[in-house]
Amino acid sequence: MAKSTGRRVPCNQREREGRLEKAKQFAHAAETLGVLDANEPALIDARVTLWVLTGIAASDVICCALLGEHAQGDGHDEAVPLLRSVRPELARHLEVLIQAKTRSGYSAQASSMGTLKKTERSGSALLAHAEQIA
């Protein structure tokens, strides 16, 4: 069976605003968990997952604003190339996040502090750009 290439869905201003609000909520939750978890990092995977969700939602906002559509699908197969088509300098951030998603959300292995720092940087960068462009 051939691997799905995902799909693109059209989006309007309302959807763009909704995705931006979700990105902000995920980032706020990740930051809040960071404060709660500062001395004993037991919530690393939850924080990584929230930064992943932040970046994915922010990427959707960027693509919506510039293309009028965003990628949708479980594997995010089309998300990176779609973002690369409009903001190649940001595509690497989304790649970092998607690579971290499986380990943080579905694996029995814990994510590292290094992964947390990378996902926080990438999620924050995508969110900052989404806020500027929205």
pLDDT in tens, 57-101: 999 999 999 999 999 877 677 899 999 999 999 999 999 999 999
CA–CA distance from 12 to each of 18, 22, 63, 64 (Å)?
A: 10, 16, 11, 7
Q: What is the pLDDT of residue 79?
A: 94
Q: What is the pLDDT of residue 39?
A: 67
Predicted structure pTM score: 0.91
Domain residue ranges of the chain, discontinuous segments joined by +: 10-133
Closest C-alpha to 125, from 94, 104, 100, 99: 94
Q: Convert the pLDDT of each residue in 35-54 to its tens digit.
A: 987 766 789 999 999 999 99
Overall average pLDDT of the 6-33 stretch: 94
- CATH ID of 10-133, from 1.20.120.330, 1.20.1110.10, 3.10.28.10, 1.10.246.90: 1.20.120.330
